[in-house]
Structure 1
Amino acid sequence: MSTQVQFLNGLNTIGGNVVSFTQGNTRLVMDFGVNFAPAETPTGDLLADGTLPALPDLFTDVDSDMATTIFVSHLHLDHMGALKYLTKPTDVYMSQASADLYQVLTELGTESAPNATIKVIPFETPMMFGDFEVTFFETDHDARGAAAIRVRDGVHTFVHSGDVRLDGPHPERVNHWADILREAHIDLFLLEGTEFSFDADDETEHVRHTEMSVQQDFGQILDEHHQLVVINPYERNIDRLEALQNTARLHGREILWDKQFATIMRAMGVADVKEIDWEAVVADPNHYVVQNHFNQLHDLDQFDGQFVYLHMNGEPLGEYDPRFAELQAYLDANHVELQRLGASGHAKPEDLVSLAQHVNAQKTVTWHSFKPEKEAEALRKVGLNVYLPTKGETLVY
């Protein structure tokens, strides 16, 4: 029986990439994210304009005899944000760490997908779904529990890289699964290409921080400034949050977290997490670092601009979000510089080329990028067979 591989979304966007593998009435879907979907937009409109993948039986009352299982490579919104729109009970598989984080986010009300039945797939433990075998491999990304995913149909092997980097704290994880895939002579490799989206002279490309250099620079900033330091990190990057707390203590400061961050960190095993006590901060601001979310920005009014602000991949992430202009305007009014101190969870272009070369698939698809054709060109230059599908296109194996 043939396998149909359909590209449903994310071919020329950063995130929101969705692919399905179908054989008979067995359908595997991975990932299941959205890029940007205002909460008030009806599901039907999101389906009609292509924000949601073209799977109407999952988002409406349309009946289907397909047995669908969803697989989530990691818990970023652009890879799992469509779960809340499911209209029928559907099994959703993810790693243990992702499931743990999803549970606490659900308890906090940050996530809610009543029709998603969350199940765990252990790393490197093949599981059968119809005639498909699915295996998760632990990878390095800026989310705990992130995975690359291999699908076998008994004859062919397909791989979804998920989001990946090679200059993070665990390149050995990537090298491990890349070695396994190279030996498997895979048929189709779906490779993210986020960092190919940007030109060399883009502002975001001037400095390439890593998780390690973020901590080094953070420590230096703490030593150089004798006033309150405010950080705006991403709540789902648990490992960075824990590292920031440890770095602050090494440099004589205590990070205070809001209740949501503190709850998430404790649930994910981070020890000795302290919540914000404004009375203590006002009394001795240079002893503290305060985590500040955009919706709590005016908590900083009491410091009359006497603070350092470090933007660490928290929301609003960039200029495409209207709230970013509000953040910049607030800091400008207080004569505070917005300092960026974040690190990408995505591999450098040259690392993506090296990874694709090493895996050496019979066919590589570039996606999860504003410029997939740019990545495709780089891969072709090193002799790889690259395919650029169109949205909705199906390959038959």
Structure 2
Amino acid sequence: MTNETKIRFWAGLRTIGGTIITIEYGRARIVFDFGTPFLGASPLADHEVRKREPKLVHDYLKLGILPEIGGLYAGHELPRGMNHVPSERSDLETAVFISHLHLDHMSVMGLVAPSIPVYLSEESAKLYASLNEIGEGVPGNRDYQSMALHKPVRVGEIEVTALPMDHCVPGACGFHIRTPDGCVFYTGDLRFHGFDQELTKQSLSTAKAMGLDALIIEGTMLWEPDADGSMGELTGDLVLPEATELTLPSRIAAALQGSEGLAVFNVYHRNIGRLRTMVQAAREVGRTLVLEPATAYLLYKHTGLTDALVYASSGFLRQLQEEKLYDWQTTVLQQFKRISADEINLSPSGYFVQNEYRHLLELLDLNTGGGLFIHSDGTPLGSYDPSYERLLQFVERAGMSFESHRVSGHASARHLKWTVDYLDPAVLIPLHSFYPERLQPLNGVRLLPESGQTYVLKNRSLLAVQTTDFSN
């Protein structure tokens, strides 16, 4: 085993999410991230096909959902006949690092062998604990390690430092990775138009000062080539778009003021900042915020806010009657007052009610006619998901108007170009994008890596090599 820095790109090169990369030096190896992109082409995306929880590693490897990285999975979970070294027989010291808690970056982290540490930022670890309490953790029975920002974690001779990023989930970070051969900076998901936009600028400045030979950057918002096939010139600046997290509360408040009936909203649970926005918008127009119990718990746990009512849906009332409450639900009842469908129906225009897509039928108990449904980056996330069309059909059938009020969790194309120009790496590696070729370096070279190919970091360059070392 030679002491050189080897980098391999397993997934996420031309998809939105699902980024999985390994960096190895000697007998040390790190992995980042460990999620999956939208599984539209997989039978596991069909809710009629039951997942076999005890055999997820076995099934996901056979379906190609998990990367075939040797030494990462427990031996008893590997498919028979698959030529992989189990974790307990690997001679590599391995650790997994998760940049943030969106499923496309961490949905299969629980399937890593329990003997291998999986690191989350401290804020991510706290949020994951809450998500796990309400039943929204990922499959796999294992522990997770928290890592402090700006303090390096060593895995053999590899040093990983988490740098905070502005994103639409708490705890998001990028990773500065140092080996004896040089430095790599992985941005994770980033943006400049959220609540913590200065955080991104500060972390980029820190990464630049620490040194970087290669920049691995997400490119979600890189648009498709022009009609004639040309890509056009992409210039970079930090001019903010109209839709930012800071302008969103007033936009939603204006929509609420224009509605005379019940108002309903749908958000992504992990976007704690968006929950704050809904609290602010409800205050501005004098509507009472009504949250589902799990959402109320997340709001209280991570903001301390309690100025909302908890919707006593038919399912929650049944749990109350049967006295089968979880500890987190008891906390919700201690911190929030309840409200029923009948009480809301007495004056629908006075309420702003949160609803998850999976609980859509609960809206049938409410007087929704003439009301407003605000979709604000909740699930289903977009038209690529068949459930999105079903949501639109339901809203129409319920007699409500539909408005989408979005703020992307990702940097615009111009902001991505500004980032690349500012950091000016010797090697630029755009991924997490349908069109990574649109992003060009200022002075260095751009690498569009091949999936499964191993590259060696040497003299500020990445050279493709043939190797079998990663089978371990």
Aligned partner of 1:391 among 423, 428, 451? 451
- Tell me which residue corresponds to 1:148: 174
SS at match of 1:57: coil
Q: C-alpha separation between the residues in 2 aligned to 1:66 and 1:127?
A: 16
- Tell me which residue corresponds to 1:262: 296
Given that residues 305 and 334 in structure 1 are in contact (C-alpha distance below 8 angstroms), is that contact kept between their aligned partners in structure 2? yes
For residues 300-346 of structure 1, the C-alpha deviation after alignment (integer angstroms, 9 at most, x for no partner) is 22325331001111111112222212111112223433211111000
- Tell me which residue corresponds to 1:70: 96
Given that residues 125 and 146 in structure 2 are in contact (C-alpha distance below 8 angstroms), is that contact kept between their aligned partners in structure 1? yes
Deviation at residue 208 of structure 1 after TM alignment: 5.7
Aligned partner of 1:297 among 357, 360, 375? 360
Given that residues 185 and 361 in structure 1 are in contact (C-alpha distance below 8 angstroms), is that contact kept between their aligned partners in structure 2? no
TM alignment of 1:136-285, pairs within 5 A: 136-197=162-223, 209-272=243-306, 273-276=308-311, 277=339, 278-285=341-348
Q: C-alpha separation between the residues in 2 aligned to 1:50 and 1:350?
A: 34
Q: Does 1:18 align with 2:20?
A: yes
- Tell me which residue corresponds to 1:347: 411
Deviation at residue 113 of structure 1 after TM alignment: 4.4
Given that residues 185 and 362 in structure 1 are in contact (C-alpha distance below 8 angstroms), is that contact kept between their aligned partners in structure 2? no
SS at match of 1:117: coil
- Sort the Cα spacing of 1:151 and 1:391 in 2 relative to 1 into closer, same or farther, 3 A: same
Given that residues 291 and 309 in structure 2 are in contact (C-alpha distance below 8 angstroms), is that contact kept between their aligned partners in structure 1? yes
Greater displacement, 97-106 / 173-182: 173-182
Given that residues 238 and 265 in structure 1 are in contact (C-alpha distance below 8 angstroms), is that contact kept between their aligned partners in structure 2? yes
Deviation at residue 25 of structure 1 after TM alignment: 2.2
Given that residues 260 and 371 in structure 2 are in contact (C-alpha distance below 8 angstroms), is that contact kept between their aligned partners in structure 1? no
- Tell me which residue corresponds to 2:327: none
SS at match of 1:263: helix
Give the total of aligned pairs: 388
Q: C-alpha separation between the residues in 1 aligned to 2:415 and 2:177?
A: 24
SS at match of 1:328: helix
Q: C-alpha separation between the residues in 2 aligned to 1:89 and 1:326?
A: 42
- Sort the Cα spacing of 1:183 and 1:164 in 2 relative to 1 into closer, same or farther, 3 A: same
TM alignment of 1:299-318, pairs within 5 A: 299-301=362-364, 302-318=366-382
Q: C-alpha separation between the residues in 1 aligned to 2:259 and 2:401?
A: 13
- Sort the Cα spacing of 1:194 and 1:208 in 2 relative to 1 into closer, same or farther, 3 A: farther
- Tell me which residue corresponds to 1:105: 131
- Sort the Cα spacing of 1:88 and 1:181 in 2 relative to 1 into closer, same or farther, 3 A: closer
- Tell me which residue corresponds to 1:124: 150
Amino acid corresponding to residue 446 of structure 2 in structure 1 = V
Aligned partner of 1:368 among 432, 437, 452? 432
Q: C-alpha separation between the residues in 1 aligned to 2:226 and 2:202?
A: 30
Q: C-alpha separation between the residues in 2 aligned to 1:55 and 1:117?
A: 20
- Sort the Cα spacing of 1:243 and 1:365 in 2 relative to 1 into closer, same or farther, 3 A: same
For residues 195-226 of structure 1, the C-alpha deviation after alignment (integer angstroms, 9 at most, x for no partner) is 0145799xxxxx96221222121011122222
Given that residues 4 and 181 in structure 2 are in contact (C-alpha distance below 8 angstroms), is that contact kept between their aligned partners in structure 1? no
For residues 127-182 of structure 1, the C-alpha deviation after alignment (integer angstroms, 9 at most, x for no partner) is 22211111111110001111011010134111110000012222211111212222
- Tell me which residue corresponds to 2:334: none
Amino acid corresponding to residue 343 of structure 1 in structure 2 = V
Deviation at residue 45 of structure 1 after TM alignment: 4.3
Q: C-alpha separation between the residues in 2 aligned to 1:215 and 1:74?
A: 24
Q: C-alpha separation between the residues in 2 aligned to 1:333 and 1:363?
A: 53
Given that residues 69 and 92 in structure 1 are in contact (C-alpha distance below 8 angstroms), is that contact kept between their aligned partners in structure 2? yes
- Sort the Cα spacing of 1:10 and 1:208 in 2 relative to 1 into closer, same or farther, 3 A: farther
- Tell me which residue corresponds to 2:51: 40
- Tell me which residue corresponds to 1:54: 68
Q: C-alpha separation between the residues in 2 aligned to 1:115 and 1:188?
A: 35
Q: Does 1:28 align with 2:88?
A: no
- Tell me which residue corresponds to 1:204: none
Amino acid corresponding to residue 84 of structure 1 in structure 2 = G
Which one has the largest radius of gyration? Answer: 2
SS at match of 2:184: strand
Given that residues 368 and 400 in structure 2 are in contact (C-alpha distance below 8 angstroms), is that contact kept between their aligned partners in structure 1? no
Given that residues 17 and 36 in structure 2 are in contact (C-alpha distance below 8 angstroms), is that contact kept between their aligned partners in structure 1? yes
Given that residues 135 and 150 in structure 1 are in contact (C-alpha distance below 8 angstroms), is that contact kept between their aligned partners in structure 2? yes
- Sort the Cα spacing of 1:60 and 1:48 in 2 relative to 1 into closer, same or farther, 3 A: farther
- Sort the Cα spacing of 1:291 and 1:238 in 2 relative to 1 into closer, same or farther, 3 A: same
Q: C-alpha separation between the residues in 2 aligned to 1:184 and 1:257?
A: 44
The percent of aligned pairs where both chains have the same amino acid is 29
Structure 1: gaps spanning 5 or more residues: 202-206
SS at match of 1:8: strand
SS at match of 1:167: coil
Deviation at residue 279 of structure 1 after TM alignment: 2.6
Deviation at residue 283 of structure 1 after TM alignment: 1.4
- Tell me which residue corresponds to 1:320: 384
Q: C-alpha separation between the residues in 1 aligned to 2:163 and 2:310?
A: 35
Q: TM-score, normalised by structure 2?
A: 0.78
